[in-house]
Amino acid sequence: MPNQITIIGLGAGDLDQLPLGIYKTLTNAGTVMARTMDHPVIDALLAEGVRFSSFDHVYEAHDQFEEVYKDIVNRLVEEAKKEPVLYAVPGHPLVAEQTVQLLLDLQKQGILTVEVLGGQSFLDPLFTAVGIDPIEGFQLLDGTALKSDDLHMDQHIIIGQVYDGFMASDVKLTLMEKYPDDYPVTIVTAAGSSSQYMKTVPLYELDHGMELSNLTSLYVAPVKEEQAYGEFFKLRQIIAVLRSPDGCPWDREQTHESLKKHLIEEAYELLEAIDQKDIDHITEELGDVLLQVMLHAQIGEDDGYFTIQDVIRTLTEKMIRRHPHVFGDKEAKTADDVRSNWQSIKQQEKGTQQEAPSLLKGKGSGMPALMQAVELQKAAAKAGFDWDDRSGAWDKLEEEWQEFQEEVANGNKEASFKEFGDVLFALVNVSRFHDIYPEEALVSANQKFISRFSFVEKKVLESGRTFNSYTLAELDEYWKEAKNLGL
């Protein structure tokens, strides 16, 4: 039958591991096309007179495995046009065999007829060799495409295709992104066969003169609980426990509303750490902000409204949707282009929802007043309600300042209160025209005041006198000294 390919698995090692039916098929065949001749079963079958042709030479023609596999499949398809093909692969055809998956895709398209006869996978003898029960949870990963994000450290991990020192080095470096350098890993070659090789070494020695081949896999045992503290799943488990009936009374009684002030506090503490350029402090404060996110998400899950997955999914969809220049075919060569695209997409999203009654609705909602003023002014400016240049903003500030002074002189406290608010709002407008974020500027001024006043306190303490014994002029001399020191 033309366009017919029969795929057969050579097992994980010895000829004795082959099922009888597979053995008969191979010995009764004409020429068997093998992905690679580097397999002990092929050596044994050659001795019995079975003829093979292989695709080993294809590996030399390409730099990427993906191209190798595509080339092999194309050659198989061409051969199948002439006569039925018997194609042999190591292990089981449906376990870690990319060429088989490509052939099955062609069958779905109606291009080929594919029959899979099976064969023993390397997994069964490997489970036996390392003594694990896969029902506890395991991952089978490809060493040629290993990413640290793929690793579930709480499960048994088997990594295939660790066939030489270069691949072992790549796998080692990827594992070291999560595991300690001395974490024990086990190298298993030709599992279950008479030539089985198994050795457990510290991770950092993985690429140090080990016996590696195309029959080599790497086994990594699950980590102990404390070694998984850097994993997201562990954080989520901890937050769930804290909110559970047997958890923490304080965490259990929190609501979205009660946590609002804590989120603001943690955000400001993070800003302070950033201003101080203290990396350890930034790391800690980012964790505190993340804690607030996790608590809100757990409350949502406990109430049956949403989970952390919903939060992440919504954010992921938004990032992909609003970055078509990265995940789509739209162009954005500058940061201004990105901002323009972002606003356009954001407006389109709003168009699919109920129209907002005001351009200012929700702008800066929940923010401190200084930050909200910035957001309100930006929204109004986008609608065209803005000064032509900075001189208009300065004139408005001077006008509001005069009105405030007049009300103060009149002794009108309520009017003075309102006019002072207008002064602050006008001052925010000036900062916007000068590309200064007022919240950051005020935080910087606060820190500068703390630093200089602390210097004054130190000087007073060193003098042995009390603050009350100093005149303002004397204290101001210390202040000037602090200023001259750059504090």
- Tell which of 206, 227, 248 closes a domain: 227
Amino acid identity for residue 486 in this structure: G
Which pLDDT value is given to residue 386? Answer: 81
Q: Please indicate, yes or no, whether residues 114 and 149 belong to a single structural domain of this protein.
A: no
Residues 6+ apart with CB under 8 A from 410: none
Per-residue pLDDT of the chain (487 residues; tens, 9 = 90+): 568 999 999 887 778 878 888 899 999 988 999 999 988 899 899 999 999 999 999 988 888 888 999 999 999 999 999 999 999 998 889 888 899 999 999 999 999 999 998 777 888 889 999 999 999 999 999 998 899 999 999 999 999 989 889 999 999 999 999 999 999 999 998 888 878 899 999 999 999 888 888 889 999 999 988 888 888 999 999 999 999 999 999 999 999 999 988 998 898 889 889 988 899 999 999 999 999 999 999 999 999 999 999 999 999 998 998 888 888 888 888 887 777 777 777 777 766 555 545 667 767 666 788 888 888 888 888 878 788 888 999 999 999 999 999 999 999 999 999 999 999 999 999 999 999 988 888 888 888 888 899 999 999 999 988 888 988 998 889 989 998 988 8
- Tell which of 202, 227, 252 closes a domain: 227
Give Dmax (Cα) for the chain: 113
Please identify which residue in the block is written with the tokens 């207008």: 422
Q: Please indicate, yes or no, whether residues 210 and 137 belong to a single structural domain of this protein.
A: yes
Give the global pTM.
0.63
Number of domains in the chain: 5
- Tell which of 172, 201, 227 closes a domain: 227
Q: Please indicate, yes or no, whether residues 91 and 174 belong to a single structural domain of this protein.
A: no
Instruction: Flag whether 318 is in a domain.
Output: no
Please tell me the distance from the alpha carbon of residue 157 to that of residue 454, in angstroms, as a whole number: 55
Instruction: Give the pairing type, strands 138-142 and 31-34.
Output: unpaired
Do residues 187 and 210 make contact, with C-beta atoms less than 8 angstroms apart? yes
Residue-range definition of the domain harbouring residue 429: 369-436
> What distance, in Å, lies between the first and last C-alpha atoms of the chain?
87
CATH number, domain containing residue 425: 1.10.287.1080
What are the φ/ψ torsions at residue 269 (nearest 5 degrees)? -65, -35
Amino acid identity for residue 204 in this structure: Y
CA distances from 43 to 161, 390, 419 (A): 20, 84, 94
Q: Please indicate, yes or no, whether residues 10 and 104 belong to a single structural domain of this protein.
A: yes
CATH number, domain containing residue 116: 3.40.1010.10
Q: What is the dihedral of CA 306, 311, 315, 321, to 10 degrees?
A: -20
Which pLDDT value is given to residue 196? Answer: 87
Which pLDDT value is given to residue 330? Answer: 82
Q: In what order do the strands lie in the sheet with 51-54?
A: 51-54, 31-34, 85-89, 4-9, 113-118
CATH number, domain containing residue 190: 3.30.950.10
Q: Please indicate, yes or no, whether residues 105 and 176 belong to a single structural domain of this protein.
A: no
Instruction: Flag whether 343 is in a domain.
Output: no
Q: Please indicate, yes or no, whether residues 14 and 112 belong to a single structural domain of this protein.
A: yes
CA distances from 432 to 162, 190, 323, 421, 427 (A): 57, 69, 26, 17, 9
Please tell me the distance from the alpha carbon of residue 407 to that of residue 409, in angstroms, as a whole number: 5
Q: Please indicate, yes or no, whether residues 20 and 65 belong to a single structural domain of this protein.
A: yes
Which pLDDT value is given to residue 251? Answer: 95
Q: Please indicate, yes or no, whether residues 164 and 137 belong to a single structural domain of this protein.
A: yes
Instruction: Flag whether 356 is in a domain.
Output: no
Instruction: Flag whether 340 is in a domain.
Output: no
Instruction: Flag whether 339 is in a domain.
Output: no
pLDDT digits (tens, 9 = 90+) for 431-475: 999 999 888 888 888 888 888 999 999 999 999 888 889 889 988
Instruction: Flag whether 349 is in a domain.
Output: no
Residues 6+ apart with CB under 8 A from 460: 466, 467, 470, 475, 478
Query: What per-residue string of b and e applies to 199-217 under the rule 16 or more CB within 10 Å gives b?
Result: eeeebebbbeebebebbbb
Closest CA to 302 of 235, 248, 254, 231: 254
DSSP SS3 for 255: coil
Do residues 30 and 51 make contact, with C-beta atoms less than 8 angstroms apart? yes
Closest CA to 209 of 257, 266, 164, 273: 164
Instruction: Give the pairing type, strands 85-89 and 216-220.
Output: unpaired
Q: Please indicate, yes or no, whether residues 31 and 135 belong to a single structural domain of this protein.
A: no
Q: Please indicate, yes or no, whether residues 187 and 93 belong to a single structural domain of this protein.
A: no
411: left (phi over 0), alpha (psi -120 to 50) or beta: left
DSSP designation for 227: G
Instruction: Flag whether 403 is in a domain.
Output: yes
Q: Please indicate, yes or no, whether residues 241 and 187 belong to a single structural domain of this protein.
A: no
Instruction: Flag whether 346 is in a domain.
Output: no
Q: Please indicate, yes or no, whether residues 75 and 180 belong to a single structural domain of this protein.
A: no
